[in-house]
């Protein structure tokens, strides 16, 4: 189409046309949508012809749409001419087009358009560059950061902090982090956004130490800076650091946002910091998050992991609209807290409400069957999950099934089940069989399970301990000695056990044999007093869990130093009568501590909840919710 044609738009239509056609009515955007419906240069040209034919003003054309229809095609010059004729500022039109592309699902188009603009010498400004940077970040590159960097320098936008920040972001996301760091170090001016970009990106790369170093250097910090850092600690499994940092954030009188709340709650769940978790819960209710689904689901998870199933249930019931995540979490929570019956009730309620269960729901359900010894139902639902719900069983589901069969003493069936699994069994699967072998005293099969477990994880001291226990119970002392030698030969070092307990909002951590705690002497005295009473009730120290070549009396002394015992006794000293003691342990709770807590719960008339690496033990009136199977 020629320029002359374009200029015809304001001239009258030739006489002959008027004779054949009714006199055209003036077109306005309101009475003709046609002018807005074009998507390609071809359609636009048709409309353009119509404009000329009907003597309509060119102003009726939506110019930004012209730009997006032709910007990426060979009709670019045509669009450019239309923009010129419209008299609207060209850079503004192209920028709005770039912005739209950058924010769309195909940010690549913004980069392509940018290349066209450079080719046709369109004058670029800082906005053009900012949209380009945005598109590159979203597109994970597409254009080397260094090219844009060069352009920014060339066009004289070097001192534009917004552009420099976006460039740091681009380098950090797409390039090597060193480039981002170099630019960051060279910047003459930085604001809180610059620092936040660096911290967030370091956290995303799992480099939480460097992130924290930068965080400590920041001249000023906003909620986002604190939140990123807290999230970083949660992600790299440093929940105690996350909680400590949150306490500091509160001291600075900054108000946490939704993301902060979710991150801190996750940290509370990890270390069982129930007091802080409850406080955050109150805060989030006051801040209008009462029905925030993400926060409610995190709260449910936190309460379950702290062993407060009732609190989890009330969040679940009050949240208004539960999602499948909430249902699954509740079912799973009830099951692992030893309340299989309630878990099943909730599952049936969910089915009645026509809510479709997902894979996590089935993990909870199978846990519940396992706990209740409902073998047939377990088998039935395991088959149903793929048949009726199209869910492919994951390793966790197989683990649950082996647990279910082993708990019921169907060890041969459990072993067959493992052999027929379509995926390679992991430590959890063999571990579940081993648990059954221990309870039902099947030494041979235990040896088989251990063989596989040690192949998978030869340095896990926990397996040697269980095997030694099994031999000790069968009074096979030579084998106990053999395990000890094997452990030494394989260079297995015992992972130090550590247990945490939160009292009055402060988290106390105990490691095995800890003699550094300020109340160390008091704990020892209390323990000795308790021990007298426990022995009277039939407690005998089980020294077979100590795999060290030391004197028997030394072994007994060793047992008393177990981190979970120190934490529980500390809790008994520092909480009022009747308070539930909640302890989190990093490893599996040992047999001796398990036996000790059962007796202890009766003597002190308290509920003692111990969460170990894989499950909850709820000791009350001399029994444990796990029914001695774990
Ligand atoms: Zn122990
Ligand atoms: Zn237990």
List pLDDT tens digits, range 320-373: 889 999 999 999 999 888 788 899 999 999 999 999 999 999 999 999 998 888
Report whether pLDDT(605) > 50: yes
- Measured between alpha carbons, how far is 537 from 127 in angstroms, rounded to an integer? 79
Ligand 2 mean position to 41 CA, how many Å? 73
pLDDT band at 32 (very low <50, low <70, confident <90, very high): low
Residue appearing with tokens 């059954």: 436
Q: Cα 107 vs. chain centroid, distance in angstroms?
A: 27
CA distance 317 to 322: 8
Q: How confident is residue 225, by pLDDT bands cut at 50, 70 and 90?
A: very high
Would you call 616 helix, strand, or coil by DSSP?
Answer: strand
255 Cα–ligand 2 center, Å: 40
* Per-residue pLDDT at 26: 47
How far is 292 from 256, CA to CA, in rounded Å? 15
User: What's the mean pLDDT in 196-206?
Assistant: 92
Does 212 score more than 80 pLDDT? yes
Res 265: pLDDT: 95
Instruction: Using the mean position of ligand 2's atoms as its centre, give its distance from the Cα of residue 559 in Å.
Output: 18
Distance 55 CA to ligand 1 centre (A): 92
> Can you give the pLDDT at residue 27?
46
Residues with C-beta atoms within 5 A of ion ligand 1:
562, 590, 592-593
pLDDT digits (tens, 9 = 90+) for 382-417: 999 999 999 999 999 999 999 999 999 999 999 999
- Please give the distance, rounded to the nearest whole angstrom, from the Cα atom of residue 399 to the centre of ligand 2: 19
Q: 39, exposed or middle or buried, with CB in 10 Å at 0-12, 13-18, 19+?
A: exposed
Whole-angstrom Cα distance, residue 431 to residue 440?
14
**CA atoms within 13 A of residue 254's CA, in its CB half-sphere:** 18
Taking residues 166-187, what's their average pLDDT? 87
Dist. CA 468 → ligand 2 center (Å): 19
How far, in Å, is the centroid of ligand 2 from the Cα of 438? Answer: 14
Does 222 score more than 60 pLDDT? yes
Task: Return the closest-CA partner of residue 317 out of 287, 296, 302.
Answer: 296
Neighbours of 506 (CB within 10 A): 13
Buried-exposed string 364-402: b where 16+ CB fall within 10 A, e elsewhere: bbbbbbbbbebbebbbebbeebeeeeebebeebbbbbbb
Dig out the tokens for 382 from the structure: 């395991």
Flag whether pLDDT at 177 surpasses 70.
yes
pLDDT digits (tens, 9 = 90+) for 465-490: 888 888 888 888 888 888 888 888 88
Within 10 angstroms of residue 146's Cβ, the number of other Cβ atoms is: 13
Q: Rounded to the nearest whole angstrom, what is the distance from the C-alpha of residue 333 to the centroid of ligand 1?
A: 25
Q: Output the pLDDT for position 11.
A: 35
pLDDT band at 5 (very low <50, low <70, confident <90, very high): very low
Ligand minimally distant from the alpha carbon of residue 544:
1
> Tell me: the pLDDT tens digits for 419-432?
999 999 998 899 99
Q: What is the pLDDT of residues 121-149, one digit of tens each?
A: 888 888 999 999 988 888 877 677 788 88
* pLDDT band per the 50, 70, 90 thresholds, residue 56: confident
Q: What is the largest CA-CA distance in the chain?
A: 119
Does 21 score more than 60 pLDDT? Answer: no
Rounded to the nearest integer, the mean pLDDT of the chain is: 86
231 CA from centroid of ligand 1 (Å) = 32
Closest to 399 measured CA to CA, from 369, 359, 427:
427
- Which ligand has the minimum distance to the alpha carbon of residue 620? 2
Strands 498-503 and 506-511 come out as antiparallel
CA distance 594 to 597: 5
Is there a contact between 542 and 562 (Cβ–Cβ < 8 Å)?
Answer: no
Interatomic CA distance for residues 414 and 220, integer angstroms: 59
The angle formed by the CA atoms of residues 409, 415 and 417, to the nearest 5 degrees, is: 105
- In angstroms, the CA 347 to CA 29 distance is 57
Residue 158 CA, ligand 1 centroid: distance in Å: 62
Lowest mean pLDDT among 4-13, 152-161, 257-266, 553-562: 4-13
| pLDDT-wise least confident of 215-219, 342-346, 540-544 | 540-544
Prediction pTM value: 0.75
Whether the per-residue pLDDT at 245 is higher than 90: the answer is yes
Q: Of 55 and 579, which is predicted with more confidence?
A: 579
Neighbours of ion ligand 2 (CB under 5 A): 617, 624, 626
Which numbered ligand comes closest to the C-alpha of 564? 1
Structural element, H or E, at residue 620: strand 616-620
Long-range contacts of 63-68 (CB under 8 A, 24+ apart): 63/88, 63/93, 64/93, 64/96, 64/97, 64/100, 65/36, 65/38, 67/93, 67/94, 67/96, 67/97, 68/97, 68/100, 68/101
pLDDT of 2 above 50: no
Maximum mean pLDDT: which of 489-493, 502-506, 522-526: 522-526
What's the gap in Å between 428 CA and the centre of ligand 2?
Answer: 17
Query: For residue 624, which ligand has an atom nearest its CA?
Result: 2
Ligand 2: distance of its center to the CA of 307 in Å? 13
Which pLDDT value is given to residue 249? 93
Residue 1 near residue 78, CB atoms below 8 Å: yes
Q: From 238, 245, 201, select the one nearest 223 (Cα to Cα).
A: 245
pLDDT > 90? residue 69: no
Ligand 2 center to residue 615 CA distance, Å?
8
Q: What digits encode the pLDDT tens for the residues 288-330?
A: 888 899 999 999 999 998 888 899 999 999 998 899 999 999 9
Identify which ligand lies nearest to the alpha carbon of 596. 1
Task: Round to whole Å and give the CA distance between 44 and 578.
Answer: 79
């Amino acid at each position: 189409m020629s320029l002359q044609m374009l200029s015809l738009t304001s001239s009258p239509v030739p006489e002959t046309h008027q004779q054949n056609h009714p006199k055209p009515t003036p077109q306005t955007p309101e009475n003709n949508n046609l002018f807005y419906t074009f998507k390609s240069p071809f359609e636009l040209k048709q409309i353009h012809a119509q404009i000329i034919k009907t003597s309509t003003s060119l102003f009726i054309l939506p110019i930004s749409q012209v730009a997006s229809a032709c910007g990426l095609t060979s009709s670019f010059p045509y669009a450019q001419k239309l923009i010129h004729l419209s008299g609207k500022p060209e850079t503004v039109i192209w920028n709005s087009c770039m912005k739209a592309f950058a924010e769309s699902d195909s940010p690549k188009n913004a980069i392509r358009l940018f290349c066209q603009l450079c080719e046709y010498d369109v004058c670029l400004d800082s906005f053009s560059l900012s949209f380009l940077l945005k598109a590159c970040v979203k597109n994970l590159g597409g254009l080397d950061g260094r090219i844009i960097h060069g352009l920014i320098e060339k066009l004289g936008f070097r001192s534009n902090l917004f552009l420099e920040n976006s460039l740091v972001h681009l380098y950090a996301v797409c390039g090597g982090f060193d480039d981002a760091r170099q630019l960051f170090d060279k910047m003459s001016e930085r604001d809180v956004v610059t620092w936040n970009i660096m911290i967030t990106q370091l956290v995303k790369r799992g480099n939480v130490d460097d992130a924290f170093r930068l965080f400590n250097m920041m001249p000023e910090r906003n909620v986002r800076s604190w939140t990123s850092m807290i999230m970083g600690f949660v992600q790299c499994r440093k929940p105690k650091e996350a909680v400590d940092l949150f306490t500091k954030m509160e001291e600075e009188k900054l108000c946490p946002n939704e993301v902060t709340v979710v991150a801190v709650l996750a940290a509370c769940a990890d270390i069982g910091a129930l007091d802080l978790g409850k406080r955050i819960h109150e805060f989030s209710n006051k801040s209008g998050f009462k029905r925030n689904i993400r926060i409610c689901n995190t709260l449910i998870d936190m309460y379950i992991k702290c062993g407060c199933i009732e609190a989890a249930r009330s969040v679940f019931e009050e949240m208004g609209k539960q999602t499948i995540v909430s249902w699954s979490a509740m079912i799973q929570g009830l099951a692992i807290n030893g309340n299989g019956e309630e878990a099943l009730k909730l599952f049936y309620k969910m089915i009645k409400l026509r809510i479709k269960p997902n894979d996590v729901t089935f993990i909870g359900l199978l846990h519940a069957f396992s706990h209740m010894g409902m073998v047939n139902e377990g088998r039935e639902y395991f088959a149903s999950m793929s048949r009726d719900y199209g869910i492919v069983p994951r390793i966790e589901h197989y683990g649950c099934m082996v647990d279910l069969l082993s708990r019921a003493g169907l060890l041969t069936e459990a072993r067959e089940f493992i052999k027929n699994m379509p995926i390679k069994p992991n430590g959890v699967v063999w571990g579940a069989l081993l648990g059954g072998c221990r309870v039902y005293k099947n030494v041979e099969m235990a040896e088989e399970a251990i063989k596989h477990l040690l192949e998978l994880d030869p340095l896990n001291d926990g397996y040697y301990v269980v095997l030694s226990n099994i031999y000790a119970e069968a009074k096979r002392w030579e084998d106990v000695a053999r395990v000890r030698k094997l452990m030494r030969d394989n260079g297995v070092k015992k992972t130090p056990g550590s247990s945490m307990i939160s009292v009055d909002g402060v988290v106390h951590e105990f490691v095995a044999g800890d003699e550094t705690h300020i109340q160390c002497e008091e704990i020892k005295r209390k323990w000795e007093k308790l021990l007298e009473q426990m022995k009277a009730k039939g407690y005998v120290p089980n020294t077979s869990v100590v795999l060290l070549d030391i004197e028997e009396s030394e072994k007994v002394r060793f047992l008393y130093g177990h981190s979970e015992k120190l934490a529980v006794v500390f809790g008994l000293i520092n909480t009022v009568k009747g308070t539930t003691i909640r302890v989190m342990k990093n490893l599996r709770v040992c047999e001796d501590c398990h036996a000790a807590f059962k007796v202890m719960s009766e003597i002190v008339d308290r509920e003692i909840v111990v969460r170990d690496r894989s499950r909850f033990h709820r000791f009350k009136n001399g029994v444990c919710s796990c029914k001695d199977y774990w």
